[in-house]
Structure 1
């Protein structure tokens, strides 16, 4: 039996009639903010999505397959822009990916991956060098002496060797195949798109498929693989958002999940970094080696810190996707930012929310004089306007520093 559960990010809880096994399986995925039996209606389960969006197909033993779809609140095209800009701010703009006017996340993503894969492969498969380690009856490349001793106990054959081979079975092609394979396993991909994905997989038939649990191979953007860049960014988004494939109790899950908290945080940090480039200095995303106390026992990790050309801290910011209070912003965010400002010796700190009741509020802390700013970005606007808003925000941040006073 196959059933479909559709939810919306951060929407109120809904009640569904579910078998006990299915309800407990959904709770075990830890994708939903709430998955619990309804206290008033036996056989009913309350389900509520949080900040995670995407699609997963969950195979429950003796209960069939359940497809969980969580739609983002932002338009699908805007989600693609946030993902794309974070991965490649210079090469990605709205309209780079043709979504064919699709409003649902899975059909749009499957269509975009197929189109970009097709464009990447039009001139044939990319070739490159791949390091091979194997047992061989002839010496080729370099002998792995330590492995020869450990595995062969002094026997001359076979020989443990390593060598570089010029082949199409490289990381770039393996990533494209893996993303297509994952999308083909999901119900809900339109028939026409599924047919085209199968055609792309045929073109990649000689590429080694991923095995479950295998890490995603790394690739480096170069001039030689430039035609693959957009396809690889999209494929990487599918694979990076891949859900856990094995869960307790024999559960198996295929799909992809994006955490909107992380998507928004990555976008804000990258956009601020790009906006602050004209001022020199350097930007640190997920800044490390920062402590609140003199004994360095209490670690702090702000999302974004910009250092001036002299190396002194100039701007500190944290991205907050969801404010948990209906009216205003959470007080605990202010406490966190105050700790960052104190540790860095900065007179101002900035919290950047996704939407809000007003575009900006500020709080001057008693006795210390530290000013904590709370900004709200409007994600509903077009990418050009959104980036312009970040530019204005960066100017405001820099104006509050001693290096660039207003």
Structure 2
């Protein structure tokens, strides 16, 4: 009797060497096409095995092919710190206040998916503690009686020359609003993820019942829009985390050509997470100095406007007109000599295009907290000195308050109030 061979679950660690695992051709190809791994290739030394190497994406996915495994990628950064970075990026104002312990409760879980499921369920429970939020929503329908507003275009197109029925729209007070739809969609997605612990799964099922009157979103559908207000303030932490869940699982955010049914799960891109944390934290800290920042600010390197550049963060005067500094965040560990030449060339190009006397690189780790390089053959700024390229290192194993203190110091340097040379 022939049956499907079940492949054991695979656990990888972010950026560690490739691991050879037994894997069917269909499952291997699905993983290779999914983009979740740095590489997935057949193992030339072992038939029926694939070499899998994790990159910057952490989380878990289930390969939906016969005998397909669950693949988990563990982050090098402690999970509690990872979710502090995520929470800060989503809600910096609250995170500044709660920097000692962070803003996302991950419980005692050390896996990305279990911690995420626990965090979302706790946030949803807090949001619903005072009851399910209600609001006005515009409903459109065909009716035998007139109420609300006549949809004239639809009336003419569908029923020209006869009434009833009539095409109408009206405002209804309901729990089926954008906020509840997003929370329900996140709960539904988490219930389908691999590795959600039983107790958390049961609590999520309870939250699904509480949100049952909200319309279930179609897979791949664009998320409904909501606006922060006094009325939904208790929902906002849960909504921001729920949207992060849906962005990390929905097929419209996967590489082109990927079959959305072949691989299903949740992934966090550590490159993007680190970049978001650094730039958002610096933006908030620079506001204290009366300066504004633009994230992913588009410019051109050449006078013809053909070579585009997009620095992670450009610091400007309070009126937003004059650039004062430029920052690029890199989720990298410094090399043995402390140098990433390509990164230095990149920020030098930014400084040159913006007419700045210095540029800053922020790394996820390094042997020195700070170093700088004066570039030969360059002068900029009122002092006419060489263009200076700074390298800063954040130790992500440090406590949240220490991370934010380091970024405040970098913001001081950008604002020109740091007395060090």
TM-score normalised by the chain length of structure 1 = 0.92
How much has 1:323 moved relative to structure 2?
4.9
Give the Cα–Cα distance (whole angstroms) in 2 for the partners of residues 199 and 91 of structure 1.
Answer: 27
The change in CA–CA distance for 1:257 and 1:154 in structure 2 (over 3 A counts) is farther
Matched, 1:294 2:299: no
Give the Cα–Cα distance (whole angstroms) in 1 for the partners of residues 150 and 16 of structure 2.
Answer: 59
Query: Which of residues 116, 125, 132 is equivalent to 2:123?
Result: 116
Deviations 1:350-400 (A, max 9, x none): 011111132222121111121111111111111111100101111122228
SS at 1:279's partner residue?
A: coil
Give the Cα–Cα distance (whole angstroms) in 2 for the partners of residues 387 and 191 of structure 1.
Answer: 35
1:365: which partner in 2?
A: 375
Query: Which of residues 167, 176, 184 is equivalent to 2:183?
Result: 176
SS at 1:161's partner residue?
A: strand
The change in CA–CA distance for 1:256 and 1:250 in structure 2 (over 3 A counts) is closer
Matched, 1:54 2:63: no
Deviations 1:2-58 (A, max 9, x none): 641111111111110111111111111111111001122221110001001111222
Give the Cα–Cα distance (whole angstroms) in 2 for the partners of residues 145 and 102 of structure 1.
Answer: 55
2:355: which partner in 1?
A: 345
1:321: which partner in 2?
A: 331
SS at 1:202's partner residue?
A: helix
Deviations 1:193-235 (A, max 9, x none): 1111111111111111111111111222221112112211221
Give the Cα–Cα distance (whole angstroms) in 2 for the partners of residues 324 and 375 of structure 1.
Answer: 10
1:64: which partner in 2?
A: 67
How much has 1:336 moved relative to structure 2?
1.3
The change in CA–CA distance for 1:41 and 1:129 in structure 2 (over 3 A counts) is same
Give the Cα–Cα distance (whole angstroms) in 2 for the partners of residues 345 and 287 of structure 1.
Answer: 15
1:39: which partner in 2?
A: 44
Does structure 1 conserve the Cα–Cα contact (< 8 Å) formed by 2:220 and 2:250?
Answer: no
SS at 1:132's partner residue?
A: strand
Matched, 1:252 2:262: yes
Query: Which of residues 129, 135, 144 is equivalent to 1:137?
Result: 144
Give the Cα–Cα distance (whole angstroms) in 2 for the partners of residues 49 and 338 of structure 1.
Answer: 31
Matched, 1:91 2:94: yes
How much has 1:157 moved relative to structure 2?
4.4
Query: Which of residues 389, 410, 413 is equivalent to 1:393?
Result: 410
Deviations 1:55-86 (A, max 9, x none): 122211xx134212111111111111111111
How much has 1:338 moved relative to structure 2?
1.2
Does structure 2 conserve the Cα–Cα contact (< 8 Å) formed by 1:126 and 1:173?
Answer: yes
Give the Cα–Cα distance (whole angstroms) in 2 for the partners of residues 298 and 348 of structure 1.
Answer: 21
Give the Cα–Cα distance (whole angstroms) in 2 for the partners of residues 51 and 16 of structure 1.
Answer: 20
TM-score normalised by the chain length of structure 2 = 0.89
Give the Cα–Cα distance (whole angstroms) in 2 for the partners of residues 318 and 137 of structure 1.
Answer: 61
Give the Cα–Cα distance (whole angstroms) in 2 for the partners of residues 177 and 24 of structure 1.
Answer: 32
2:382: which partner in 1?
A: none
1:12: which partner in 2?
A: 17
Note the residue ranges of structure 2 that are not aligned, 5 or more in a row: 1-5, 379-385
Alignment of 1:213-228 (within 5 A): 213-228=220-235
Matched, 1:102 2:119: no
Runs of 4+ in 1 over 6 A off after TM superposition: none
Query: Which of residues 291, 295, 311 is equivalent to 1:285?
Result: 295
SS at 1:91's partner residue?
A: helix
Alignment of 1:123-162 (within 5 A): 123-153=130-160, 155-162=162-169
Give the Cα–Cα distance (whole angstroms) in 2 for the partners of residues 11 and 148 of structure 1.
Answer: 62
Give the Cα–Cα distance (whole angstroms) in 1 for the partners of residues 12 and 79 of structure 2.
Answer: 15
Deviations 1:93-134 (A, max 9, x none): 334333222111111111111111111111110011112233
Out of 371-380 and 218-227, give the one that drifted further.
Answer: 218-227
SS at 1:54's partner residue?
A: strand
2:399: which partner in 1?
A: 382
Equivalent pairs counted in the alignment come to 401
Give the Cα–Cα distance (whole angstroms) in 2 for the partners of residues 149 and 276 of structure 1.
Answer: 56
2:204: which partner in 1?
A: 197
2:366: which partner in 1?
A: 356
Give the Cα–Cα distance (whole angstroms) in 2 for the partners of residues 100 and 53 of structure 1.
Answer: 18
How much has 1:152 moved relative to structure 2?
4.2
Does structure 1 conserve the Cα–Cα contact (< 8 Å) formed by 2:183 and 2:239?
Answer: yes
Does structure 2 conserve the Cα–Cα contact (< 8 Å) formed by 1:243 and 1:257?
Answer: no
Give the Cα–Cα distance (whole angstroms) in 2 for the partners of residues 180 and 190 of structure 1.
Answer: 14
Does structure 2 conserve the Cα–Cα contact (< 8 Å) formed by 1:398 and 1:405?
Answer: no
The change in CA–CA distance for 1:350 and 1:96 in structure 2 (over 3 A counts) is closer
